[in-house]
Each structure stands twice: as structure tokens, then as C-alpha cells.
Amino acid sequence: MNDHGGTAGGTLGGTRGPGITLTAGPLLMRPWREEDVPALLKAYDDPAMRQWIRLPASTPEEAARWLELQDEGWESGTRFSFAVTDTARGGELVGNLVLKRPGPDTERAEVGYWTAAWARGRGVAPRALEALTDWAFTAFADEGLVRLELLHQVDNVASCRVAEKAGYAFAELLGALPPEFPLDGHLHVREESLRPDGRVAAQRGAAEPGVSPAGSSDSR
């Protein structure tokens, strides 16, 4: 384990199944569980969070449905959501990470995240995002994944800093698409390519046309 990336563990489904865990220093990323509902509700009970999240969970019923959506994403192979916990603080829930793929054999995917109010300012998001990035490029290399995209509203300055710290270069200013995306957005990109020796190397990619804007880098 280290602070500049992560390792993957677990046995269910190899590196892609619902038993997978990721680590980055004291951070442990694992699939969401039913017992996370109280912490999830507490995290969403934050005005700053609600500013960026389109579908917050405000009640136990909404939180339960939110967890169901995460499970469905793992089952369909289109959404891989991780609860970010801090083992140095007794496994405290500190955030969420998600990798969203439109389907198998696609070259690109989208990453998203949020950090709970009580864990901000501790470098949680960049470290967790680096671990997710390393896992994604490794786990889906055989399906041709070479490009990860991160999107956020232009006024979400904190997400812009997280993207840059995790190696996601600013690529394009995306126009607003109200009502879903009322403000312009930033597209950040991180790519993988082969070195001359055949090893995979991370690169900062340029934007491609036809990318839809998004209002936040936070997972939905």
C-alpha cells in the first residue's frame, strides 16, 4: 500500500467482482453495504454536497434505493461504486468513488467521487481517485479501456484541484445543457498508452469531440 496509488484485493470475480477492495495508504475502498446507510445519510446532510449531487439520499428509503442502484451497477458491469473508508480512524466512511462504463469493450469510462464533509482537507479524494484509476486501467485492459474522463461544473473549484492532483489534465470547456446541466463544465482526461517496451504508461489526453457535458465530478 502507498499514498500514490493503490492495490486491489479480493477473490470474488477476480479484479472486477463485488468482493474487490482497493487501498491507498490508510484508505480502504470496498463495495457499499447496508450498514453504511446511517453514514451515507449523514454525508448527504450537507449543503455543500447537495450543491453538486443531483440525486441525494435524504431518507432511509432513498438511501436503501441508492444502495440498490450501486448493487445493480456491479451486477450489470456498468457502474462500480466503492465506499471509501479510513482504517486509521476505525473504518470511518469518508467518501464515495465510482467508475461508470457504458458497456464492455469500450475505450472510455467516467470516474466520479465525493468526500464527506468531516473528511475534507485530508487528501482523501486524490489518493482514492489514483487507486481507482490504477484499478480501472488494469481490470479493463483486456477490454480496451484507455481513457478515463472526469467532469465537474466550472464553479466546483475543489473538484478541479482533485482532478489535477490525480493526473487528470484539463481538456475542454463544455457548454451548459439545462435543465440537467445548468452551468458550463470542465472535462479532465487521463489516458493510458503503450511504451516502446510494451508497458502501459499513463498520459494526459486531449479532448475528443462529441463529449457531453456534466455538472459535477461527484457520483450520481
- Of all residues in the chain, the percent with pLDDT exceeding 90 is 59
- What is the residue-averaged pLDDT of the chain? 81
pLDDT of res. 144: 93
Strands (E), the chain: 7-9, 21-24, 27-30, 79-86, 92-100, 108-115, 147-153, 169-174, 185-194, 200-203
pLDDT at 196 over 70: no
Q: Which residues contact 38 (CB under 8 A, 6 or more apart)?
A: none
Confidence band, pLDDT 50/70/90 cuts, at residue 120? very high
Q: What is the pLDDT of residues 162-177, one digit of tens each?
A: 999 999 999 888 888 8
pLDDT at 64 over 60: yes
Confidence band, pLDDT 50/70/90 cuts, at residue 211? very low
Calculate the alpha carbon distances from 33 to 18, 74, 86, 153, 157 in Å: 11, 13, 15, 29, 30
pLDDT of res. 177: 81
Calculate the alpha carbon distances from 57 to 51, 53, 62 in Å: 13, 10, 5
pLDDT at 217 over 90: no
With vertex at residue 174, the alpha carbon angle to CA 156 and CA 143, rounded to the nearest 5 degrees, is 95
For residues 149 and 188, is the Cβ–Cβ distance under 8 A?
yes
pLDDT at 158 over 80: yes
Pick the closest to residue 159 from 180, 141, 183, 135 (CA basis). 183
pLDDT at 205 over 50: no
Query: The cell 432511509 sits on which residue?
Result: 60
Calculate the alpha carbon distances from 76 to 16, 139, 163 in Å: 11, 16, 27
Pick the closest to residue 128 from 9, 11, 7, 24 (CA basis). 24
pLDDT at 181 over 50: yes
Confidence band, pLDDT 50/70/90 cuts, at residue 111? very high
pLDDT at 49 over 90: no
Top-confidence range, 79-93, 168-182, 202-216: 79-93
Q: Domains plus CATH for the chain?
A: 7-203 (3.40.630.30)
Pick the closest to residue 83 from 138, 35, 152 (CA basis). 35
Looking at per-residue pLDDT, the higher value among 185 and 16 belongs to 185
pLDDT of res. 195: 36
Query: The cell 464492455 sits on which residue?
Result: 104
Confidence band, pLDDT 50/70/90 cuts, at residue 127? very high
